[in-house]
Amino acid sequence: MSDIILQIDGKEVTAREGATILDAARSIGISIPTLCNHEKLEPHGGCRVCSVEVDSRGRTSVVAACLYPVEQGLVVRTRTDKLERIRQALVEMMLAHAPDSEPLQELAREYGADKNCFEKERSFCIHCGLCVRYCAEIKRANAVGFIDRGARKEICFIPEIAAKECWECKECFPLCPTSALQAAFVLCKALTFPDAGR
């Protein structure tokens, strides 16, 4: 594989072919915020807070740094007024669902997001997919998944699988940036192990 030379925030970076902008930025200590990214998981591009501006083939566009592969001569900007506004709006929308989330509150402080900007819809899950992908890709158990679609999409443990797999595992729990996964598990536990804890 050949090396790719690109520029991020004015700094020249050498990255391996197939690396993402996020990988390249991190390799030189440039921090790009993420919520749905995890080093052990395939990139997902779901939360979009890692959005960056790129100049490529004469065009400027906004792309997800966790998904976009490095290109020879690519010019990347990770902090511009436009990106700050995008991140602010994304965080405000997610805060409407999970106002108590510590990672979201941290991002809100950084990007000046107002947690009262949108009407509260405390669904808690921000659909980052970390739990689902971790269970599928790392544990290969598929004990948790999404049900329904659009605004009604929510996380749900599959009781028959969770009863066998989750009790001794719980590896996905610390990945959740909100309290949604814990809440879903409490519900599943009540259905699956009604006598647990008694």
Residues at the interface with ligand SF4 (CB under 6 A): 125-131, 134-135, 139, 141, 143-144, 155, 162, 165-166, 169-172, 175-178, 180-181
Cβ neighbours for 11, distance < 8 A, ≥ 6 positions apart: 28, 30
Q: Kindly state the helix (H) or strand (E) to which residue 77 belongs, with its residue range.
A: strand 75-77
At its nearest, how many Å lie between ligand SF4 and the CB of residue 143?
4
Phi, psi of 20 (to 5 degrees): -100, 170
| 86, β-bridge pairs | none
Give the type of residue at 29: G
> For residues 62 and 183, which CB has a smaller minimum distance to ligand SF4 in the complex?
183
Residue 131 CB, shortest distance to ligand SF4, in Å, is: 3
Residue among 75 and 93 whose Cβ is closer to ligand SF4? 93
User: Least distance from C-beta 86 to ligand SF4, angstroms?
Assistant: 20
End-to-end CA distance of the chain: 58
Judged by beta carbon, residue 11 or residue 170, the one nearer ligand SF4 is: 170
**Nearer to ligand SF4 among residue 16 and residue 153 (C-beta):** 153
Give the shortest CB-156-to-ligand SF4 separation in angstroms: 10
CA distances from residue 169 to 83, 141, 189, 194 in whole angstroms, order as listed: 38, 11, 14, 19
* DSSP notation for 41-72: S-----S-TTEEEEEETTEEEEEETTTPBP-T
Residue 106 Cβ, how far from ligand SF4 at the closest point, in Å?
15
Place of tokens 């970076």: 13
Task: Output 19 or 188, the one with its CB closest to ligand SF4.
Answer: 188
